[in-house]
Structure 1
């Protein structure tokens, strides 16, 4: 039997029939259109990090805006703060996309909205394609509910690349079983009761959702208000209204209520005493349930 994407048969890709390989040709047919954002879709059996690979391609000028790189397995997937992301082969979606917002007259100071835009796109796509309610933890975690408990099912990492591009990576646990979870606080779409765990329609839905949000955001020159990105993110953000601890660069901490996401995509925290603090980067810990 030949694998659908033409990969090497020696990688035993059909060893888990509950986790069939992605069909690269079908994804390209459904996503790559002359007038659309997506310019190419490549599926590889395994790699260290799709983000690293796509950043290198963009820097070398061998990838254009709308390039999508998907890996069936990652051995060195990365999250924020250089955290590692690992999962069994074909148990999730691990992919990166290249965008060039500067070519659409989006000012550099608004590019920080891209991870939040990606979170909105993924969450809305999962609701429609898999029937899973996904909440967003600022700035880039995707949360699902498993047994009444909030669990992290995915993460987003954006990195600058050469030529004015930004590579955005997404890691999403799809069919991970309880005994496969890397840490106790992890989750997956399957454990959250997803109606669909076939990765191909989920990936198509996520990429189409991202395209819609990105095109509207670019048309508004990155304005999060005009594009409705700011209000949509706030509506789905599980961090807002919570008591949080923000661990900031330099080992500083701020504790208070997360009250807003401002026009620059920063988390606004109101301490019990003193002035509000706008956090642009940091590790956020939820201190009480929503």
Structure 2
């Protein structure tokens, strides 16, 4: 049993971990098939995961919980859709109509998928995990950035659980600020695996809902790049075995629930520390394309507000948005 990091709340660590997924009438997934990330969670949180599949329809319900307190459990109600314009746009509409937190839309294909800065997210039918999650946040407005980071980190951990020992392939799945996932190769090249898009609704000047959108390539796309400068990659290209969309969905939601509990408990600092640890950019020479120009420097931190801090000419500049690319190795050294 590993020793919990200093400051871990006692109720979030007791050294036990009881993974397992069951169906209403029979086992649909046994503990030995649960990906390793479920057995060795970040911060040794004791997690129990199960799924209840409703056979009569297309809707599934998943729930993942931290053992204590039971009230912290998140119940995810998953609806599978065929072709849709955008899962985010549909879920925004449902949020405005009063849908409850935990509603998840998963689509086979999007005809109008979107990324950051209104870029198009292109996909082939069945070749990606396209999902949006509705959250009714409890965090104050200045901590809302934690939710998008939480989903990106959840997707990273879930994807990596299908990849075995990526270090043997001289590659790793890392977080490219703000919320993209890239396969980070030893030769310092990036290939884009996934992106996260967060949309927010306010009522009476308070955050009422968040729609957390995830697009993750299962197969390597043959379509034009959705992100300028980055070649795409599919999870199945780097995975150590088969990857099913349903299994990946379960894994992402389990990982997300862990991090939502941290936000609920006021422990968002854990998420920021994980973001720094898994960052593809910190400590490296980067260029950042902003709306008003280009900044060249070294990425030195992700601050408590989620901003990327770039040091250039002896001055630290915190950035709220921007497209980050890495300088060529000769310049980086």
Which TM-score bucket, shorter chain as reference?
0.7 to 0.9
1:267 aligns with 2:300: no
Contact 1:175 1:188 in 2 (8 A): yes
1:28 aligns with 2:60: yes
Q: Give the alignment partner of residue 155 of structure 1, picking from 184, 191, 195.
A: 195
Tell me which residue corresponds to 2:156. Answer: 123
Aligned residue runs from structure 1 range 125-274, under 5 A = 125-131=158-164, 133-145=172-184, 149-161=189-201, 164-176=208-220, 180-183=222-225, 185-220=231-266, 223-225=267-269, 228-249=270-291, 251-271=292-312, 273-274=313-314
1:65-118 Cα offsets, whole Å, 9 max, x none, are: 11101101011110001111111111110000011113xxx1110101222111
1:54 aligns with 2:91: yes
Higher RCO structure, 1 or 2 (CA under 8 Å, sep 6+) = 1
Tell me which residue corresponds to 2:325. Answer: 285
1:69 aligns with 2:110: no
Q: Take 1:197 and 1:146, find their aligned partners in 2: how far apart are those partners?
A: 21
Contact 2:61 2:78 in 1 (8 A): no
Tell me which residue corresponds to 1:5. Answer: none
Q: Take 2:238 and 2:163, find their aligned partners in 1: how far apart are those partners?
A: 10
TM-score (norm: length of structure 2)? 0.71
**Aligned-residue offset at 1:38:** 2.7
Contact 2:64 2:257 in 1 (8 A): no
Cα 1:79–1:24, aligned 2, differ >3 Å: closer, same or farther? farther
1:95 aligns with 2:131: yes
SS across alignment from 1:122: helix
CA root-mean-square deviation: 2.4
**Aligned-residue offset at 1:39:** 4.1
Q: Take 2:320 and 2:76, find their aligned partners in 1: how far apart are those partners?
A: 32
Cα 1:232–1:39, aligned 2, differ >3 Å: closer, same or farther? closer
Contact 1:31 1:38 in 2 (8 A): yes
1:38 aligns with 2:82: no
Tell me which residue corresponds to 1:13. Answer: none
**The structure with more strand, counted as a fraction of residues:** 2
**Aligned-residue offset at 1:128:** 1.9
1:134-163 Cα offsets, whole Å, 9 max, x none, are: 111000111125796420011000001355
Q: Take 1:144 and 1:274, find their aligned partners in 2: how far apart are those partners?
A: 30
Tell me which residue corresponds to 1:15. Answer: none
Tell me which residue corresponds to 1:276. Answer: 316
Q: Take 1:197 and 1:51, find their aligned partners in 2: how far apart are those partners?
A: 24
Q: Take 2:91 and 2:62, find their aligned partners in 1: how far apart are those partners?
A: 21
**Aligned-residue offset at 1:176:** 3.0
**Aligned-residue offset at 1:210:** 0.3
Cα 1:121–1:39, aligned 2, differ >3 Å: closer, same or farther? closer
Cα 1:194–1:173, aligned 2, differ >3 Å: closer, same or farther? farther
Tell me which residue corresponds to 1:14. Answer: none
